[in-house]
A and B are shown apart, each in its own frame.
Chain A
C-alpha cells in the first residue's frame, strides 16, 4: 500500500531556532500534501495545503512566514517552523494525496507525525 514517511518523529529545540520537517511519499507521486497540527487533547487542524510547484495555501490564522512550506517535487514536501517558540510545541502530521483514482479507494495517506517540543 501507499506509504508516507515523515521525519523526524520527535524533535526538541531551543526557542528561536528553526526546525524542518520532511514528508515523503515513498511509492506514489503526491500532487498535493496537507499539513496538520494537533495540540494536546484537541483535534487535528489543517494548517496548509501544498501543491507541487506552487505556493502553499494557508488556513486562516496560520502564519505563512512562520510556517514555511516547500513542495518542490512530487514526492517531498517540507514544513519549516521558523524562530520556534514554546507555543509552537505541537504534533505535526502530513498527509499526501495521489491523483484521483490512482490509488483505489484511499486517496489520503498519513505520515506518523512529528512531536515538536520547543524549550
Chain B
C-alpha cells in the first residue's frame, strides 16, 4: 500500500529564509510525484510535477527533487515571502489496475512566513 508522509506538519519562518519541505513514500513504483499548494478554503494549485525518470524540477523560487529509490522528495523554497504562506501537499501518482491512475496525498505541511 502506498503511504505518503510529510515532515514537518507545520513550519513558521521569517520572510527571506530558504526552507525545505520533506515528503516520503513507501512504494517506489510511482508514475510521478506532484507538489500542490492549498490556500485556506481553496482548491489545489499544482506547483511542480516530477516524472519518475526525473530527479528535479524547478519553477521560479521553487525546486523539487525526487529520489525514487529511497522514496523521498523535497520541495525547496528560496527567499520565502509572506505570500508563500499556505499548506503544501505532496502526492504520488501510481498505476492502479482498477482505474489506471491513483493518487495518494500526504497530510501536508502548513507554512507560515512572517513579515
Contacts and interface: CB of A to CB of B under 8 A. Distances in A.
A10 to B, nearest CB: 9
Contacts of B107: 42-43
B108 A112 contact: no
Interface string B100-115: 1111111110000000
Majority secondary structure of chain B interface residues (helix, strand, loop or mixed): strand
B63 interface: no
Contacts, number: 63
Interface residues of A, number: 28
Given A42-B107, A43-B107, A108-B103, A49 B93 contact: no
B99 A113 contact: no
A100 B93 contact: no
Contact of A43 (B34, B93, B101, B108): B108
13 contacts: A32-B101, A46-B103, A49-B96, A49-B99, A57-B99, A91-B41, A99-B100, A106-B34, A106-B46, A107-B31, A108-B103, A112-B43, A113-B42
